[in-house]
Amino acid sequence: MVIADVLPFKRQAHPSQQTHDLRRLLGLIAVITVGRLIAAGVTPLSEDEAYYRLWSQHLAFGYFDHPPMVAWWIAAGRLLAGDTALGARLLPTLGTAICSVLIYGIARQCRSTPATALRAAVWYNATLLVGFGGHLAVPDGPSSLFWTATLYLLLRAREGRDGDWVLAGLTAGLAVLSKYSALFLAPGVLIWLASSPQGRARLATPWPWICLIAAASVVSTNVFWNATHGWVSFEKQFGRAAAERFTPQHLLELIGTQFLLINPLMAPFAVSGLWLAISRRARPLDGLWLLAAVTLPFAAYLAVHSLHAGVQGHWPAPLYPGLAILAAVAAQGAAGWRGPCARWVAKVGTTVSVFALIHLALPATDWFGRIDLSSQMRGWPAFAGEVESLRRRSGSEWVGALSFGQVAMLDNERLIHAPILQITERSRYRFQPPPPATVLSAPGLVVDFSRRVTASDLKRCFNSVSSLGQIERGGNARPPRFLQQLGLGPRQYTYALFQVQGPKVDLAQDGCWEAKTLADSLRARHRRERP
């Protein structure tokens, strides 16, 4: 696709106006992208990103937690920009920029004015989720891009470009290879087509079904991988749909979280735009109705899921491009209180995002204690160096931890010159060759949160367990005095260290104990220790 393709061939606006608005868009996206690339390079990786970096060292068609696209993107970025934070985040950052251009193109396909299409692209970047997360190396980046590309191609296909049905199928397949939530595209597109006589006429042609076959052919690579790996990622992800308890409070959390992450000033416009699009469902292959039709099935699933389990704030990320377009359309000619809200959406979103990115990049702003989500990124170079020093002094041949996040963050520092492995949940690591049995039979150093691991836990798995004390990880910045008086400041994490030897199980293959057993043990311990 070339840039000019985002301008549909049938429009009422003067060509010079279209060119002017497209230039403005590209200029804005270029500035935003440069800022995100800087943030990507100076901000340490999060635990999830570091974990996906491990995947990128052993490319496959699937992994324990997700389909493979994020690993492929990180591997490509590391090839282009080195094994750095910038390398890991290079393609996600560029993908957000391309997604912004596609949003402009979709809005124009929906018969919006150039000004409204420009607003939609800007507002997408002004959502708080994208504003300070659009550069992160997580599955939501490629999922959002390919989801949006599918919608763009479907709107081109409705104009009679039958070949775009095939391309839409391929991008839909790539969206599923990014995250399984993209499977909700299929029922959404079916609802869109079945809602009007013109759409039902398209269903009578082979092209929508060719689109489905193209998507299935791409997804089949991951299906085959799962079939040869015990269906691990299908069981992991689709197992979440099973209801175990009724927790309606999570629905309120979902609504409140999305109200904030979309941008509190933009959220009312998104709701209005969604309602407007639903009212147009009987129109012939209406573009706005397509955006609503693919939003509703996934949104309904998230609402149902929230009735028995929590929904993480980033899960609805692929819906944000469509919601930004619907919000921008609803804001056209906004009057009364809606006018100031529309004018301040981009300003508020940009300001909050810039401050958040600065905070993530600068440890000197570690002022907020336990409520600071960036604390998981802090202090790892010094901590990994101290762990390596203790490993050498104790004569340990390997380092172990109980969580994938600790393993990934230690590996990301590249300071420990010995195998690092998670001693639980070994199914996560089928993508990499395990350490030799001779190494694992030698003394090892287990390090994890002191609240998570005890000697009695480890004695269930090893013949010999010796405590080596505790060390801390965290920020060292001094907050302003008024925050200190409130008890806020850099969060310090305490880790317990143990030297272990003589595993009682196949450590590389099976691990010490199941994650559920560990979680139940931790919950019981927490209840006992609670005052």
Residue 13, phi then psi, degrees to nearest 5? -65, 150
Output the CA angle 381-382-383, nearest 5 degrees: 90
What distance lies between CA 4 and its chain's CA centroid? 30
How far apart are alpha carbons 225 and 171 in whole angstroms? 20
Residue linked to tokens 């990622």: 233
Contact in structure between 335 and 342 (CB atoms under 8 Å): no
* Sign of the Cα pseudo-torsion (481, 484, 486, 491, in order): positive
Joined together, the tokens standing for residue 350 give 């940009």
Write the burial class of residue 96 (CB in 10 Å: 0-12 exposed, 13-18 middle, 19+ buried): buried
Q: Parallel, antiparallel, or unpaired for β 492-503 and 444-449?
A: antiparallel
Residue 378, C-beta contacts closer than 8 angstroms, at least 6 positions apart: 44, 363, 366, 473, 474, 475, 490, 491
CA distances from residue 138 to 55, 92, 295, 460, 463 in whole angstroms, order as listed: 12, 8, 21, 35, 39
| Nearest residue to 24 via CA among 110, 108, 101, 93 | 101
Residue 471, C-beta contacts closer than 8 angstroms, at least 6 positions apart: 383, 386, 387, 390, 447, 494, 495, 497
Residue linked to tokens 């910038």: 86
pTM of the model: 0.90
Residue linked to tokens 């809602």: 195
Digits of tens for pLDDT over the chain (531 positions)? 434 444 443 444 566 667 777 888 899 999 999 999 999 999 999 999 999 999 999 999 999 999 999 999 999 999 999 999 999 999 999 999 999 999 999 999 999 999 999 999 999 999 999 999 999 999 999 999 999 999 999 999 998 888 999 999 999 999 999 999 999 999 999 999 999 999 999 999 999 999 999 999 999 999 999 999 989 999 888 877 666 678 889 999 999 999 999 999 999 999 999 999 999 998 999 999 999 999 999 999 999 999 988 899 999 999 999 999 999 999 998 777 788 899 999 999 999 999 999 988 887 777 666 667 788 888 899 999 999 999 999 999 999 999 999 999 999 999 999 999 999 999 899 898 988 989 999 999 999 999 888 999 899 999 999 999 999 997 666 666 655 555 566 778 899 999 999 999 999 888 997 644 444 554 444 444 433
How far apart are alpha carbons 461 and 444 in whole angstroms? 12
Which DSSP string corresponds to 49-115? HHHHHHHHTS--S--SSS-SHHHHHHHHHHHHH-SSHHHHHHHHHHHHHHHHHHHHHHHHHTT--HH
CA distances from residue 176 to 169, 183, 306, 476 in whole angstroms, order as listed: 11, 6, 22, 42
* Secondary element (H or E) of residue 499: strand 492-503
